[in-house]
Structure 1
Amino acid sequence: MKEAQLEQFLHYLATERQLSPHTLNNYSRDLLRFLEFVEEHRLAQWADVSARHVRQFAAQIHRQGLAGKSIQRTLSAVRSFYRFLAREQWVEQNPAEAVQAPKASRKLPNTLDTDQITRLLDIPVSDALSARDLAIMELIYSSGLRVSELVGLDMQNLELAEHSLRVLGKGNKERELPVGRKALQALDRWFDYRDQLADYTQPALFVSSRGGRISVRTVQQRMEYWGKRLGITGRVHPHRLRHSFASHMLESSGDLRAVQELLGHEDISTTQIYTHLDFQHLMQVYSGAHPRAQKKDK
């Protein structure tokens, strides 16, 4: 009976919800794992499963090495399945509704150190594409832009005389950012070449070889190309450059609130995730600031 109801749910996902084969495979794998747990605990019907059982199940798959993100997905599948069972009037309650998975740890890209940044931003400019690519990478590192923010920039967003730009971030929130000297120089060089690719009526700051607004995928591909060509360790991509910006700014200034504003984070805890201080720097700050950590004068 339990297997038949599970099959009906998967059929519902495929026909009424029209989920992709990949998503269906995930649902099927996660729910078969749950079915195995239910059978091991000799629960005759889905209605016999309690919230305590679901918590035990989550703990079990956690012990088996399943990552937080995978546990979240599995519990989401169980919750959806019980909503279906309730809709069909096979159960009265959803035992998975209040069960939360352990928070998934966020994996961040490694930063580029200052030597790698110098090598990456010393690319030979010989044509419009290399001039554009250098300006793109300089601007991301200079202002900590998200790649979506970068590709959305128009010419009118730049305030060259003020050394700044206006960017539209997440939630359609606009913020003003400083632009560094090296990035301004790279932009000037890009403007010398830009009319080779784009008509003067094109508002986009950065354009593709066909003259339209550049895409996120093209930016990613070009950065990966330059990373490989210049022998940079690990894959070079926009978020790695943004993360390097944030880390270097925080290491130099120690001003978490300022870095939060520059990155456009709503919550400062997000900035704490994206940035880090090495332990040696923390010890230096502690030793210099804490009254009971300072060495006594001899």
Structure 2
Amino acid sequence: MHINPLTRLDFALTAFLTDGQARNLRPRTIDYYRQQVGWFLAYVTDSGATTPQDITPHPIRAYSVHLQQEREWADASIHTAAWAMRAFLQFLDADGMIAESPMKRVRMPRNDQPVKNPFSSDELKRIVAAARTQRDRPMVYCLLDSGCRISEFAGGRYGDLNLTTGAVHLGASSTKGRRARVVYLGAKARRELKKWVARFPTPSADTPLWQTENGQPLSPHSVREVIKRIGRAAKVSPCGPHRSRHTFAVSFLRNGGDVFSLQHFLGHALEMTRRYIALVDADLQAAHAKLGIVDRL
């Protein structure tokens, strides 16, 4: 295979992003790669690299240490940065810009972050009490009941919703893995949501479910800020959409749900879904310590 030793790093990044666009990756994914790989290339450029051939295992490891010690990134953030570097370097390998990806000789950084604790029963009661408006209360209920990602949730439309059955259709264009799926809302969430959508003058299928008082759609960032504000009022910290998703998952398993159904509702790979089992297993261990027959004799 012919390797061009004069390929510049900026050209390599442009080629990588163009390949992602050609493969129809989501715009958010392209932006994420642009940011993460751009930061990495700025680091190796400062270290003297000018072409892809200059990227060896050493600067890759040094960059991970830099993120950990100087930037003080969390383990999960360093891990995802390494995934972006690996995707970029694998592309250069496949496209003939380098002879072999140096990531083949670099071990991925560990990501031992446990699943975040779900909201407690007392925290949930305070959050609901703090969500006083006709929009905020159904927003809290629907986040907890659906287990949706914030990007999926904020993009919800009136036509996605069946208020009779509680089914919410998430189109492939709105989900992380580009796979359509259906999630559900319970009776209480549907009741509050009916009150909210009754305020819409003439809703169409494309009417955003979550909007301002002036009818402007809320962005994922805006929804996140609403939930944070409710959390501050309820004196619950941290309080955000992702913790609602954790709460949904753990509650589902604690109440007898199976891991394969949970995988569907979350839109996760099975391995990711299994992380929630560890937290529920801790519940079972604590229950056995209290209720085990022999220890109570």
TM-score category, normalised to shorter length? 0.5 to 0.7
Instruction: State, as a whole percentage, how many aligned pairs show the same letter.
Output: 18
The answer to whether 1:248 aligns with 2:255 is no
Say which SS state the counterpart of residue 169 (structure 2) adopts. strand
Say which SS state the counterpart of residue 142 (structure 2) adopts. helix
Among 66, 79, 82, the residue aligned to 1:72: 82
Give the superposition deviation at 1:231. 1.1
Aligned to 1:213: 217
Q: Structure 1, residues 76-114: CA drift from partner, whole Å, max 9, x if none?
A: 59959x97xx85xxxx84461522432441745442112
User: Unmatched 5+ residue regions in structure 2?
Assistant: 18-32, 70-74
The answer to whether 1:112 aligns with 2:119 is yes
The answer to whether the 8 A contact 2:129-2:234 is kept is no
Count of matched residue pairs: 259
Structure 2 CA distance for aligned equivalents of residues 177 and 237 of structure 1: 20
One-letter amino acid of the structure 2 residue matched with residue 200 of structure 1: P
Structure 2 CA distance for aligned equivalents of residues 225 and 16 of structure 1: 42
Structure 2 CA distance for aligned equivalents of residues 159 and 204 of structure 1: 14
Give the superposition deviation at 1:135. 1.0
Q: How does 1:1-298 map to 2 (within 5 A)?
A: 9=8, 26-30=40-44, 54=57, 69=79, 72=82, 76=86, 79=89, 93-94=99-100, 96=102, 98-105=104-111, 107=113, 108-123=115-130, 125=132, 130-168=133-171, 169-195=175-201, 199-201=202-204, 203-234=207-238, 236-253=239-256, 255-265=258-268, 267-274=269-276, 276-282=279-285, 284=287, 295=294
Distance 1:144 1:21, change over 3 A: closer
Structure 2 CA distance for aligned equivalents of residues 14 and 79 of structure 1: 10
Structure 2 CA distance for aligned equivalents of residues 27 and 105 of structure 1: 23
Give the superposition deviation at 1:244. 1.1
The answer to whether the 8 A contact 1:131-1:193 is kept is no
**Two-structure CA RMSD over aligned residues (Å):** 4.4
**Larger RCO: Structure 1 or Structure 2 (Cα < 8 Å, ≥ 6 residues apart)?**
2
TM-score (structure 2 length as normaliser):
0.66
The answer to whether the 8 A contact 1:58-1:71 is kept is no
Distance 1:57 1:225, change over 3 A: closer
Give the superposition deviation at 1:246. 0.6
One-letter amino acid of the structure 2 residue matched with residue 212 of structure 1: Q
The answer to whether the 8 A contact 1:260-1:268 is kept is yes
The answer to whether the 8 A contact 2:167-2:185 is kept is yes
Aligned to 1:43: none
Structure 2 CA distance for aligned equivalents of residues 111 and 119 of structure 1: 14
The answer to whether the 8 A contact 2:197-2:209 is kept is no
The answer to whether the 8 A contact 2:166-2:184 is kept is yes
Q: Structure 1, residues 195-235: CA drift from partner, whole Å, max 9, x if none?
A: 4xxx534622222233133211110111111111221122x
User: Unmatched 5+ residue regions in structure 1?
Assistant: 36-45
Structure 2 CA distance for aligned equivalents of residues 159 and 70 of structure 1: 36
TM-score (structure 1 length as normaliser):
0.66
Q: Structure 1, residues 169-220: CA drift from partner, whole Å, max 9, x if none?
A: 344433232311221221122134344xxx5346222222331332111101
When structure 1 is superposed on structure 2, of 69-78 and 140-149 the one drifting more is: 69-78
Say which SS state the counterpart of residue 162 (structure 1) adopts. coil
Structure 2 CA distance for aligned equivalents of residues 229 and 140 of structure 1: 18
Give the superposition deviation at 1:167. 2.3
Structure 1 CA distance for aligned equivalents of residues 168 and 148 of structure 2: 11
The answer to whether the 8 A contact 1:72-1:100 is kept is no
The answer to whether the 8 A contact 1:143-1:262 is kept is yes
Give the superposition deviation at 1:116. 0.8
Distance 1:186 1:72, change over 3 A: same
Distance 1:31 1:140, change over 3 A: same
